[in-house]
Structure 1
Amino acid sequence: MSQDTLIRRHFGHRARLVLSPAGVSKADGQAHAARTMWNLLHAWWQMMPKEGRTFANADAAIRQARQDIDFLAVLPAQAAQAVLKTYVQAWRNCWDGRAGAPRFKGRDRTVMSVDIPQGRDLNIVRVHRRWGQVNIPKVGRVRFRWTKGLPVGKCADAENRITGARLVKDALGWHIAFRVQTLEIKPAPHPGSEVGIDMGVTVAIALSNGGTYRHGEWLTGKEKARLLHLEQRAAQRKSHRRPGEPTSRRLHRTYDRIAGLRAKAKRRALDWQHQTTTAIARTYATAVVEALTITNMVKSAKGTIDEPGRNVAPKAGLNRAISGQAWGRTITMLTYKTVRHGGTLHKVPAPGTSRRCSACGHTTPGSRESQAVFVCKYPDCGWSGNADHNAARNILHLYRMGHALVPAAGRAVVRRAKRVKPAAAR
């Protein structure tokens, strides 16, 4: 087979781990040690002079720290090296203008995680159809939920293999995220048609051909009632805590239950997004979406003391609804799934797509009568229809007229050029 017909693909796969209480304690200890290693490395970086901030000196510092501090010895040596590489990359991202400067990691605001950089250390074995086993350094053999075919055993080679993994803990427990590399046949051009996609709050996804993708509530009625009860209980227990007094274990347990219900809702939303974006990528050759600046759309309307905002409560509710739909995550999924199925995704300018009439092309004030109905007020038109479908048709029209945006790779660097590293930090 010709090399032109093959393509190397890198992707991740996340699976649920089944850890014993002792295994959970070991994984927690490694995660806390990794966070402490980051903080020590950041403190060392700030204290060292400019000429002493080298990769070799930093490597020697973390090796000495693992010998002097017994608590850090629970972290495997390769995981400690991964912390160093991640920290150095964080500074490179800051110097290139892609991110802010690294900071100390707090216990409460940091996701607990441990990196396993070498895939050969995992020794993955499939036990049967539903379960597999993986070797985690300094934890042991652990079962995980097998939901996707992985290149292990006889299926693994130099081009199809697992290059590493990362342990991540959320409100539902510990998970393992595998980094997978495969060599696949390059997909043929998709034979489907073009479609415009409008993402909204009432209708999650509306298509230019009249199709829609909707979803219900992510939590059942009993689960929402339970969540409300736990939030009220947490607020009551928090009100009885004196200033400066540490949080009680009982309140921590309440917070954990709240986080568990919210994580369950997020997981259901992710499953719906994956199924929906996969269906769109398999059906259509070209998907066209709006280039939305979501961070500006969800800004608060409170204003200032001198100039207070208006309609603060409705705007706050709209911001929560937009954030709950996770439009950016949907676009990200569509981007790589359309490419995988031989299609493409394009973005067009967002202004005016919801106010313009897709039948006559005029933008007349008052045409958007409600969130769901669009009635053109232009005298010679009078077209009426669903507002979301009208916006999706306008999105597709902009693409066909040649208004697709070309992503600018250096835009972020130019916008944050003034935040280049100071001389003392180089």
Structure 2
Amino acid sequence: MALTPAQVRLMDDQAHAARAMWNLLHDWWTMTPKCRRSLKAADEAVRQARKEIDWLGVLPAQAAQSVLKTYFQAWRNCWDGRAGEPSFKARLRSVMSVDIPQGRDLNIVRVHRRWGMVNIPKVGRVRFRWTKDLPVGKRADQENRITGARLVKDALGWHIVFRVQTLEPTPEPRHGLEVGIDAGVNLPLALSDGNHQDHGRPPRLPDGKADRDKWLNTGEKARLLRLERRAAHRKSFRKPGQKTSHRLKRTYDQIKQLRARATRRAVDWQHKTTTALAKQYGVIVVEDLHITKMVKSARGTVEKPGKNVAQKAGLNRAISQEAWGRTVTMLTYKTARHGGLLVKVPAPGTSLRCSVCGFTTPGSREDQATFVCKNPGCGWSGNADWNASRNVLHLYRMGHALIPAAGRAVVRRARRVKPATAR
């Protein structure tokens, strides 16, 4: 969004008010007896707070109601076992956002091919970059229309995401090719048929250390290094308890912008890759990975200190950068959208078992990238990730899928709703 400095301040105030409204609701909920908790009582408390607290008035009434509905939905998700309990939103750890639940208040107009105009409550007319087709004007009807929007801020500025309601036929089940996928570090997505998906960026530097800035080019990496050194130099002059200077804040903002640019490139690669896989294959089999346990630190305790702590920390950083969980999430709804199916199989043993003879022998993984079967009657060797992907597909064909019925239910639920967004 192209905003003036005054509009940026107004939207920042609304986002802080929305976060404060959530925290006040959370305090009200925890302090109110269970017999008095209800949506009606919470709505009355929100209305009273907006009248008595001046700075909450900068948040539009519809946006405040959206915070209330989102908070109650968070508790429903907790009660149904889909998420944890709602918690306090800290200023530094929460994303600044404001919801616009009424689509009729937006008044979207396309200025030309690249830019459009939208009306933001209590902010005014704002230009935004037109990146996707939107049902506006004669193209809008009851079956294809904009129902609302959400304003989100990141290191690169404010963005607007439109909620679009569309009517689409349920795709017919597609019995296409079956493929097993193993998510790795050296090879991001290894496929059982050899059609590996690589983003062309090595996970490690020549000295063996993990490259946390692999999505930046050479010039951007050099600029990031200069900014980090500049931030460390300016931070050395700050005394304990002293506020951060404006120069240091500006340097931190520039570092965040480069990090956000790298994240966008990674997400863009994931979207394009998962879309191509969902169109090509009818059944996609992945491992049921517990990533939180995989990236657990090996530091240990004082009584039992860990081993190879630095190497494990680098591996954890490389795993987190690949964002395997986000890839599986994308594949789940995209395969459902194209009539396919995503299945999970047990992960233990897939990387240590030979995909040719089926035996697990000690010492087969000579290094992170190569698998050599130590069975005297086999001796097969090849890429370790490719070997694991073949084992993943074999487990599915042998009937070791984890709760296939639940997977089909997820597919049916994903087919009913297809969100379309524009930024």
TM-score (norm 2): 0.88
Distance 1:397 1:41 in 2: 50
After TM superposition, give the deviation of residue 106 of structure 1 in Å. 2.2
Match of 1:150 in 2: 134
Q: What do residues 276-324 of structure 1 show as CA deviations (whole Å, max 9, x unaligned)?
A: 1111111111111111110000001111111111100000000000000
Paired residue type of 1:331: V
Residue 356 of structure 1 pairs with residue 353 of structure 2: yes
Paired residue type of 2:270: Q
Match of 2:402 in 1: 405
Pairs within 5 Å for 1:188-267: 188-190=172-174, 192-215=176-199, 216=201, 217-267=214-264
After TM superposition, give the deviation of residue 408 of structure 1 in Å. 8.6
Residue 377 of structure 1 pairs with residue 374 of structure 2: yes
Larger mean CA deviation between 350-359 and 32-41 belongs to 32-41
Pairs within 5 Å for 1:175-186: 175-186=159-170
Cα distance change of structure 1 residues 258 and 408 upon mapping to structure 2, 3 Å threshold: farther
Distance 2:240 2:31 in 1: 34
Distance 2:146 2:347 in 1: 40
Paired residue type of 1:249: H
Match of 2:69 in 1: 85
Distance 2:31 2:337 in 1: 47
Paired residue type of 1:165: A
Distance 1:326 1:402 in 2: 28
Q: What do residues 90-135 of structure 1 show as CA deviations (whole Å, max 9, x unaligned)?
A: 3333444444433332221221100111122122222222222222
Match of 1:6 in 2: none
Distance 1:150 1:94 in 2: 34
Q: Which segments of 5 or more consecutive residues in structure 2 lack a partner in the other structure? A: 202-213, 407-423
Distance 1:229 1:28 in 2: 29
Q: What do residues 23-44 of structure 1 show as CA deviations (whole Å, max 9, x unaligned)?
A: 2111111101111222222333
Residue 336 of structure 1 pairs with residue 333 of structure 2: yes
Aligned partner of residue 45 in structure 1, secondary structure: helix
Paired residue type of 1:370: D
Query: How many pairs does the alignment contain?
Result: 393
TM-score (norm 1): 0.88
The answer to whether the 8 Å contact 2:192/2:393 transfers is: yes
Q: What do residues 221-269 of structure 1 show as CA deviations (whole Å, max 9, x unaligned)?
A: 1211222222232233333322222222222111111111110000000
Residue 295 of structure 1 pairs with residue 292 of structure 2: yes
Cα distance change of structure 1 residues 96 and 344 upon mapping to structure 2, 3 Å threshold: closer
Q: What do residues 192-244 of structure 1 show as CA deviations (whole Å, max 9, x unaligned)?
A: 31111111101111111112111223001121122222223223333332222
Distance 1:212 1:115 in 2: 40
Match of 2:309 in 1: 312
After TM superposition, give the deviation of residue 368 of structure 1 in Å. 1.6
Aligned partner of residue 285 in structure 1, secondary structure: strand
Paired residue type of 1:256: D
Aligned partner of residue 133 in structure 2, secondary structure: coil
Residue 115 of structure 1 pairs with residue 99 of structure 2: yes
The answer to whether the 8 Å contact 2:175/2:283 transfers is: no
Paired residue type of 2:118: V
Larger mean CA deviation between 397-406 and 132-141 belongs to 132-141
Q: What do residues 137-192 of structure 1 show as CA deviations (whole Å, max 9, x unaligned)?
A: 11122222222222222222222222221110000000112222211133234353
Q: State the Cα RMSD in Å.
A: 1.8
Match of 2:4 in 1: 20
Aligned partner of residue 380 in structure 1, secondary structure: coil
Given candidates 272, 276, 279, the residue that maps to 2:273 is 276
Distance 2:322 2:237 in 1: 35
The answer to whether the 8 Å contact 2:182/2:287 transfers is: yes
Distance 2:363 2:303 in 1: 32
Cα distance change of structure 1 residues 284 and 408 upon mapping to structure 2, 3 Å threshold: closer
Given candidates 60, 67, 78, the residue that maps to 2:51 is 67
Q: Which runs of 4+ in 1 moved over 4 A?
A: none
Distance 1:69 1:95 in 2: 32
Residue 105 of structure 1 pairs with residue 102 of structure 2: no
Distance 2:6 2:42 in 1: 32
After TM superposition, give the deviation of residue 54 of structure 1 in Å. 2.5
Q: Which segments of 5 or more consecutive residues in structure 1 lack a partner in the other structure? A: 1-16, 410-426
